[in-house]
Structure 1
Amino acid sequence: MGLRCQALKRKNQGVRPFISRLVYCLGASTILAGCDLAPDYHPQQFVVPSSWHGEGPFQIATPREGILRSDWWTLYNDPILNALEARLEKLNPDLQAAAEIFTQSRALAVEAESSLFPQVGIAAGGSNNKRSANNLFRARDDQVTMSSQFYSGVATWEPDFWSLIRNRTREQEIFAQQAAAEYALAKLSLRAELANNYILLRGMDAQNAVYDESIVYYEKAVHLTKIRQQGAISSGIDVARAQNQLSMTKAAQEELRAKRAVILHAIAILVNVSPSSFQIQPADRLTLELPTIPVGLPADLLQRRPDISSAERAMAAANREIGIARAAFYPNVTFSITGGFMDNGIDLASLANSMWSYGGMAVLPLFEGGLRRAELQRSWAKYRETVDNYRSTVLAAFKEVEDSLSNINHLGQSYEDQKQAVAASTKVQAMTMTLYQGALTNYLDVIVAQIARITAQISAIQVKTQQIQASVQLIRALGGGWKEARLPKRKDIRSLGVLQYEGIDNPKPVGNVPYNKSPLDTNLTGSSLQRE
């Protein structure tokens, strides 16, 4: 279709030919606008296992039991964690930035769709010009000065014969859906990070309590060895050993407190508080327990993970790019019309001073050195890349679930063994201290027993902490109660209407992505956060 036409009609040719040609062009564009050159899109289908390999203490949830709750952190029954999670969703700056990325994607979709409509504008101007009176070729009756004023309207339209604009619009709408999935992923990741840090903090508190108890015990041991030394019952080496054990334990406690401070600072940043203004009172023991988590079926995972949905949306967008690349092989058609008035005075609005023109143009490049073919080849390669990335994301998701299930199972067994080790080491410590007081053993046996007990206690708390943290990772791997149905529909992506001129800075929230404009954003003191 090697066509290039340009029709210019002036005021003396009449209006009827213009109307007939315009109707013809509109009719032709309506017929051709349904030509979509993008391939038929079908998401990849995978054959997945019927059950998880490492189900362990969790059972597959039946339909009556439902699925994982979206407020999954409440399963740990900790009011402080609940308050922190609520503040994170409202004020975390990274999460709010992810929401703004979604809003930008919605606006880009509107920008792409705007090309479907005629572009209309107005123009006005005037000029006063003078040329030299001594111009060599100027006739005697030629004017030296000339002025003109005009105002006019202009409209251009590009009919979407090959769905180029529609595919660009659909691609941007898909990108917006992908941004919504990325927001959900960011929220899930930040929530999991906060819960993980909080659990670690409480585990450190429990370890600190063990150190406090041990230090009191070791101080009594130092006092005992000194008394025995004064009575010539034991040597000074026992005092030195007891003092060494006490000092090493205090040093280990200070190291633990330094690590706790770092974790506390990380939690503060997550909830939009300056670390210098944030504090969580220590707890004496680890009260958090492993919650009951409905793991569901492996096939359900594909609709519950926002990163999988994001990868699938990227694949759908790449499919649209193929249609865009194909459209470049067909003529690009545009229509334009201009009309107005021009005069060398101020009497513009008269029929004698009217001017107008209309035209249409179709351009088909014949030779571009392989540009369009290379672009089409690249779009197909990009689509296949997204297919591979999608499969990789699915495999990684299954791995994360199995890793978390395995960790919970093995750490649970390890914790039971550690509890037995704590009980046994406690008995050994008491027995060796009794024997030492009765001069039936040396203090080296007491030191060995003390080290064994505190090591067993700390290890038990660490294993329990890791098991609870593994449950957070399992929840994250299962999608945190998110569903693919929460993605915004394409019809809801538009952030403003064609004729909307008010409220454009506050788009209506869709797709469970809020529009955040909180007055507490700049308050970094955490004054609204309840502390216990």
Structure 2
Amino acid sequence: MSYFRPMRRARAAGGAALLALTLSGCDMAPAYHPARLVYPPDWEGQGVIAYGHPDDAASRADWWTAFGDPELNRLEQQALAANPDLQATAESFTQARDVAAQVAAHLYPQIEGMAGGERYKSSHHRLWRGAGATGPAYMSSEQYQASATWEPDFWSAIRNRKRMAEQSAQQKAADYAVARLALEAEVARDYIALRGFDAQDAVYRDSIRYYTLAVHITRLRLAGAIAAGLDVSRAETQLASTQALETDIHASRDVMEHALAILVNQAPASFHIAPRDRIDLTDVQPSAGLPSTLLERRPDIAAAERAMAQANRAIGVSRAAFYPHVTFNAMTGFMDNGFDLASLSNSMYQFGAQAVLPLFQGGVRRAELQRAWSQYRQAEDRYRSTVLDAFAEVEDGLTNVNRLRTETSQARQAVEAALRTQNMTMALYTGGLTNYLDVVVAQQAALSARITLVQVDTRQHQASVALITALGGGWSRTALPAEGAIRPFGPLQYGNLRAPAPVGGVDGTPHAGDTNLTALPAR
């Protein structure tokens, strides 16, 4: 009889393990299908430049190189390497990976070891110790033991929490891509604005030279008694007003330069970009591509979809709360009042199982489940809103690029006409055929037209940046790390834990030059 008893125990243990494996496949989360949105088959409205396929003029990850400016390329690379806000976002992704590892650890048995000893002396005159007693006054105890606790994931509650944590990490990776794209766009916009201020300053300097000559001419005519003092006053007013406008442009340029310094991790006092007389950037014409590809190229849409996937898994966790919560535990070890521990007589063990099923909680679990469903619908609503915003941004970008390109051409024609008028009125005034008021009006019109042209040209390049950003800036959903690649270290890895290996294009490793805020690196 004693021979068959271990056999029955083995079969019972095997049956329990098989049951656990079978029940662990019970996933309470509903089948996840991302919302299928119906969108227009083609880009419509006034914003259309050209309708192309995804590969036609699609933006690359280094999209700013299309503007053909080495200085912009250098600033972008420096910002991506050292911007503190971007690096902080990368650390958020690292922390999300660690949270996923913590949750996944509950799928494994939790094993603990313990060893201890103590020495105790009691008082010879303690209570109830009679006179002449020979009982021991000294006692000692040494022990070591190991314990294990395991929660079989019958209803996939732990697995769903694990998937939620992994999807949260994917969402953080998408948030990093959003922050990276925003940084790239901000550097490009600020740099274009800086070059716009440079071009305006060149216009003002050219006008100041022209107005200085005009003051000289009016003074000569006044000295020859062929012009009134009013002409000199008007010429001097025009000159001084333009000098004040140039000073204001210098202030705006300095502030923009400071903003760029912060973006590239430099102290403004040690940062300077040499000015240029004109905006020397290539006219970039990005293609919108197919509407369906926008959902795959926008990191904010990917982040919203991952939030929706997490909400779907949360429903499974809430459903699992309606079923028994089972835990197995075991402990074994040795204890003795000396050092003779490893003997069967000194051994001890304990094992057991526990199943808990809440019978009545006043609707707590039902409220939690209903809240989970509501959160899923909320995530779905936010996903749809993000998609709509994306379509609006692309359409706005297409409109702005198209209209501003036309406006630039028109402003250039206005400048040509205004300069002709300015030259003709000055020639007429010099010949005594008109008054100086006509000259002032022509000068003001020419200056306004030239400044307007520079401003419109600046806005056109910035609109191209906005359109590229709205199209995802060359990002693709395939850049998201897979759920299986989220774990930052192996189950038995105990070294190299300061920073995990990069995954999904997110590198949180500190760089040697991050703390250097004093000067730009050597070119």
TM-score range, shorter chain: over 0.9
Question: Would the aligned equivalents of 2:110 and 2:148 in 1 still touch at CA under 8 Å?
Answer: yes
Deviation of the 1:27 alpha carbon:
2.6
Instruction: Please say if 1:512 is aligned against 2:505.
Output: yes
RMSD value over aligned CA atoms?
A: 2.1
* CA 1:169–1:232: 2 relative to 1, 3 Å: same
Give secondary structure in 2 for the equivalent of 1:115. helix
Summarize the alignment of residues 98-497 of structure 1 with structure 2, pairs less than 5 Å apart. Answer: 98-129=89-120, 134-135=126-127, 146-497=139-490
> Identity of aligned pairs, percent?
52
| C-alpha distance after superposition, 1:329-380 (max 9, x if no partner) | 1111111111111111221121111111111111112222322222112111
The one-letter code sitting in structure 1 at the alignment partner of 2:210 is: Y
Please list every run of 5 or more consecutive structure 2 residues that lacks an aligned counterpart in the other structure. Answer: none
**Counterpart in 2 of 1:41?**
32
The one-letter code sitting in structure 2 at the alignment partner of 1:303 is: E
The one-letter code sitting in structure 1 at the alignment partner of 2:409 is: E
Give secondary structure in 2 for the equivalent of 1:65. coil
Give secondary structure in 2 for the equivalent of 1:333. strand
* CA 1:272–1:377: 2 relative to 1, 3 Å: same
**In the aligned structure 1, how far is the partner of 2:232 from the partner of 2:341?**
111
Which one of 21, 24, 36 corresponds to residue 30 of structure 1? 21
Instruction: Please say if 1:95 is aligned against 2:78.
Output: no
Deviation of the 1:198 alpha carbon:
0.7
Give secondary structure in 1 for the equivalent of 2:250. helix
Question: Would the aligned equivalents of 1:37 and 1:327 in 2 still touch at CA under 8 Å?
Answer: yes
**Counterpart in 1 of 2:63?**
72
**In the aligned structure 1, how far is the partner of 2:54 from the partner of 2:386?**
26
Deviation of the 1:65 alpha carbon:
3.2
The one-letter code sitting in structure 2 at the alignment partner of 1:405 is: L
Give secondary structure in 1 for the equivalent of 2:107. coil
* CA 1:260–1:63: 2 relative to 1, 3 Å: closer
Question: Would the aligned equivalents of 1:412 and 1:467 in 2 still touch at CA under 8 Å?
Answer: yes
Deviation of the 1:20 alpha carbon:
6.0
> For this pair of structures, how many residues does the alignment match?
517
Deviation of the 1:221 alpha carbon:
0.8
**In the aligned structure 2, how far is the partner of 1:57 from the partner of 1:524?**
44
* CA 1:141–1:26: 2 relative to 1, 3 Å: farther
Question: Would the aligned equivalents of 1:435 and 1:441 in 2 still touch at CA under 8 Å?
Answer: yes
* CA 1:330–1:120: 2 relative to 1, 3 Å: same
Please list every run of 5 or more consecutive structure 1 residues that lacks an aligned counterpart in the other structure. Answer: 1-13
**In the aligned structure 1, how far is the partner of 2:275 from the partner of 2:290?**
39
Deviation of the 1:382 alpha carbon:
0.9
* CA 1:19–1:345: 2 relative to 1, 3 Å: farther
Deviation of the 1:231 alpha carbon:
1.3
